[in-house]
Chain A
């Protein structure tokens, strides 16, 4: 009887895993299958045309890359600096405790609330308007906790012996950090950046009211331009066209590119991390 229930349990767990695997594989296969037909070089390299019923996704694709770049410029220094603080400087003080709790709370804030926050701080209060800058900064705030956690772990993974050796050679603390700790943690930090990018690239809710444009004829050229973004473009294509059925192939194409982009970036990150942890 006990042996029997053990068999049943094993069967149930395998069954759950396999059916979930099959379900997700099915979803991916469906997206690839539907989207494949729309894919072509022109689809990638041309802007939307004819009321978004033809053409490609060049403008939103570039817009998403721009948003990623600007948000990373904002989030990486702060994230790495905070990680460094936690790992090298933090004492068991009230400040550290508040910082810890803030980052924890930040990680739990719903994405749409980040959107509200970005709207009231960047768009209205600081007067940046609905723009690439506002949207990027909002995304930067959203990815900050990820960045902090990743870089703190990276710094902590550097063996204390390295630091001690550097001190023994007469290096100051800052010299040790710059010449020893940062270089040894660099690859892990880059992995963290890549994973943050994977998270940020697909976000829709935070940019709807902070800077995403329905349509711009050309690629956004300054921080104060509104910018088309791929995830929002998918939403627009799926809900706002006059001829939704006609644009169905474009929608699946855009989704496929979005999923490909996000999964491509994140799998590089996951792969790098697996290699790094194995190396240790």
Chain B
């Protein structure tokens, strides 16, 4: 009974909606905020050449994007981590086959305030800072001042990667946790502002976000750059993906092809990420 009613209302209102739309097809892009900067510009440049395609982009986070793909509400899920096996199972149950396309490379870079004298940190130091064992900058070669630890929301891909590659590094059974005293920021941009405004802060960012307002710290003596990411010497790099239901086709393929094209990859490098080829 309720279901019939629901279908009726949905159909009715959908009818109204479709009557107003004049597009041949629709692409909904959602997912990681890390991928947003270049994906958004790609959408901006792609749209004028394809007026028949209605395209919108949101940055709900990697988990949300993949959720959308599973629910079939999202056509392209941006991800800053690989899809989890549990997510693949859910997708399969819903008749969706996630297809992975790597679109860019990203280095996660620890960042501090520009006035901070610390230039390099080891994995062990980073881990101790984030788990709350080290709380003073003087213990890692800085001034005698407290450390303000800044983290990301637990559902962001950047958090996941940082958690896996830094915080849980060397863990056996008992997984380490980020200290609950860490401030939590809801997006990469918010993290950047927080660190840029705080002399005592340490945070982490995708390399595309790092600008003059903060100072990048090298990890184990290796600076994050195009070269070190490409030859795999920088230890904190990862691929960025766009997931689709099955191999991309039609307008979705046109968009992903555009991202992978020299023009698209130039957007990737212009926004501070590293091209995939």
Point out residues on A near B: beta carbons under 8 Å.
49-52, 125-130, 133, 212-218, 221-226, 238-245
Contacts and interface: CB of A to CB of B under 8 A. Distances in A.
A133 B57 contact: no
B40 A214 contact: yes
Contacts of B9: 126
B142 interface: no
Contact of A245 (B10, B47, B196): B196
A242 B47 contact: no
A180 to B, nearest CB: 35
A226 to B, nearest CB: 5
B211 A225 contact: no
A226 B28 contact: yes
A126 B23 CA distance: 24
Given A223-B17, A245-B211, A245-B213, A240 B56 contact: no
Given A126-B10, A221-B22, A242 B56 contact: no
Given A125-B6, A244-B193, A225 B56 contact: yes
Interface stretch (B109-117, B181-189, B236-244): B181-189
Contacts of A214: 36, 40, 57-59
A240 B189 contact: yes
A226 B17 contact: no
Contacts of B271: 51, 242
24 contacts: A50-B41, A50-B44, A52-B40, A213-B56, A214-B57, A214-B59, A215-B43, A215-B57, A216-B56, A217-B47, A221-B22, A223-B13, A226-B28, A226-B58, A238-B190, A239-B189, A240-B187, A240-B189, A242-B271, A243-B211, A244-B213, A245-B196, A245-B211, A245-B213
Nearest to B209: A242
B40 A223 contact: no
A212 B58 CA distance: 8
B204 to A, nearest CB: 15
Nearest to A208: B60
Given A222-B20, A241-B189, A216 B44 contact: no
Contact of B56 (A52, A133, A226, A244): A226
Interface in B82-113: none
A94 B257 CA distance: 64
A118 to B, nearest CB: 15
Contacts of A242: 37, 188-189, 208-209, 211, 271-272
A72 B73 CA distance: 27
Interface string B136-164: 00000000000000000000000000000
Contact of B21 (A50, A129, A133, A224): A224
B94 to A, nearest CB: 14
B54 interface: yes
Pick from A50, A221, A222 the residue with the most CB of B within 10 Å. A222
Contacts of B187: 239-240
Given A222-B21, A245-B213, 12 more contacts: A49-B44, A51-B37, A213-B56, A213-B57, A214-B36, A215-B43, A217-B44, A221-B20, A221-B21, A223-B16, A244-B213, A245-B196
A244 B214 CA distance: 12
Contacts of A224: 14, 17-18, 21
Nearest to B11: A127
B11 to A, nearest CB: 10
Contacts of A221: 20-23, 54
Contacts of A212: 58
A2 to B, nearest CB: 51
B6 A126 contact: yes
A215 B189 contact: no
A32 to B, nearest CB: 22
A128 B36 contact: no
B77 interface: no
Nearest to B55: A217
A50 to B, nearest CB: 7
B33 interface: yes
A51 B211 CA distance: 15
Contacts of B213: 244-245
Contacts of B186: 239
A51 B41 contact: yes
Interface string B62-73: 000000000001
A241 B41 CA distance: 12
In this complex, the member of B28, B36, B58, B188 whose beta carbon has the largest number of chain A beta carbons within 10 angstroms is B58
Report the 7 A-B pairs with minimum CB-CB distance, sorted nearest first: A217-B47, A239-B190, A224-B17, A222-B21, A222-B20, A240-B189, A216-B56
Contacts of A240: 33, 36, 59, 187-190
B192 interface: yes
A133 B12 CA distance: 13
A133 B196 CA distance: 38
A221 B17 CA distance: 9
Nearest to B7: A127
A200 to B, nearest CB: 20
Nearest to A237: B189
